[in-house]
Amino acid sequence: MAKDISHDSLTEMKHLLESDLETLLKLIVTHRRPVDEGSVRAASAILRRWLIEGLMGKLCRALRVRASFPVLDNGEVIRALPFVSDVAYFMTGGVRFNGAEVSGNYVSELPYTGKPRLPVERMHYRFMKLGEFTSQKRLFHAGNYFSCEEIIKFVANKLGGVHLDESRKGLYEKMEEAARAFTFGGPKSNIKRGTPGAEHLVIEPDAVEVLHGFHVEIIAAGASLLCVHLDGIRLMPLKIERRFLSRIDDYLGIQRQKWLKSARLE
């Protein structure tokens, strides 16, 4: 056990992780209903706590384990973007809405010819360590790249996940524009909250709210956190039954992945 953590503190931290994962599951993995924007904002607070503020690393050091997360590897797309000048927007995504996969979405000035302008078909899931996961570039807009960490902080600190801050200068102004450039949800005629972007994809026929690209990325990061592995063994919180684990895998689109073992924090 790490010298700077008492037994009681370690126990409390383990219980907090299990509780947060159980809550995260309820927030972002829905059944026969759309994910609501308020739940996505609430999920960002959990992600900030464990992935950005150092709590996951602190717990892993105390337990002497290594954490890894299944994350959609977009490396080939990111490397291709500087050479495809007609593409002004790209979002990694990697989750399912109403059974449909939302990943590799991009906007090009050129008409579709039957072949993607970016190698989105070569994106695949692989395990990443925490630092690689949070530093991964996830969304591109108007020449700017935004990482998983930046997106979590923006939703948590600016959009009301933890704080509501309406100031938008410099980087935050660019992030606001990137977030709103491409939206998701129900038909525009159904929308009661939020403003559809210039590009709007109908993914939930019954949805009445607008989700934007950063919301989708929060859901994707949350799904990866729900699938966290410690020393290669999948963590299974006490109240998340095994039947829900397959639902999470399906949500990520990795239902064919075979998890050999699941563990609980004792």
Q: What is the DSSP string of 54-102?
A: SHHHHHHHHHT--EEEEEEE-HHHHHHGGG-TTEEEEEEEEEEETTEEE
pLDDT tens digits, 72-85:
999 999 999 999 99
What is the tally of structural domains in the chain? 1
The verdict on residue 39 lying in a domain is: yes
The verdict on residue 112 lying in a domain is: yes
Quote the CA–CA distance of 185 and 200 in Å, as a whole number: 8
pLDDT tens digits, 135-162:
999 999 999 999 999 999 999 998 877 8
The verdict on residue 265 lying in a domain is: no
Report yes or no: 122 and 113 within 8 Å, Cβ to Cβ. Answer: no
Q: Which pLDDT score, from 0 to 100, does residue 238 have?
A: 47
Return the H-helix or E-strand segment holding 44.
helix 37-47
Query: What is the average pLDDT across 233-240?
Result: 66
- Beta-bridge partner residues of 230: 67, 233
Q: Measure Cα distances from 201 to 38, 96, 166, 210 in Å.
A: 20, 13, 26, 10
Which tokens go with 123?
């994106």
pLDDT tens digits, 158-208:
887 787 767 777 888 999 999 999 999 989 999 998 899 989 999 888 889
Quote the CA–CA distance of 136 and 146 in Å, as a whole number: 8
- Block residue for tokens 């900030």: 48
* Residue 74 domain boundaries: 15-258
The verdict on residue 2 lying in a domain is: no
Prediction pTM value: 0.88
Bridging pattern class, strands 199-202 and 182-185: parallel
How deeply is 221 buried, as exposed, middle or buried, from its count of CB atoms within 10 A (0-12, 13-18, 19+)? Answer: buried
Q: Measure Cα distances from 32 to 14, 101, 185 in Å.
A: 31, 16, 14
Within 8 A by CB and 6+ apart from 113, the residues are none
Least confident of 20-34, 52-66, 101-115: 20-34
Q: What is the mean pLDDT of the chain?
A: 87
The verdict on residue 6 lying in a domain is: no
- Give the burial string for 33-46 (b: 16+ CB within 10 Å, else e): ebbbbebbbbbbbb
The verdict on residue 59 lying in a domain is: yes
31 vs 94, higher pLDDT: 94
The verdict on residue 10 lying in a domain is: no
Which of these, 143, 140, 146, lies nearest to 90 by C-alpha position?
140
The verdict on residue 166 lying in a domain is: yes
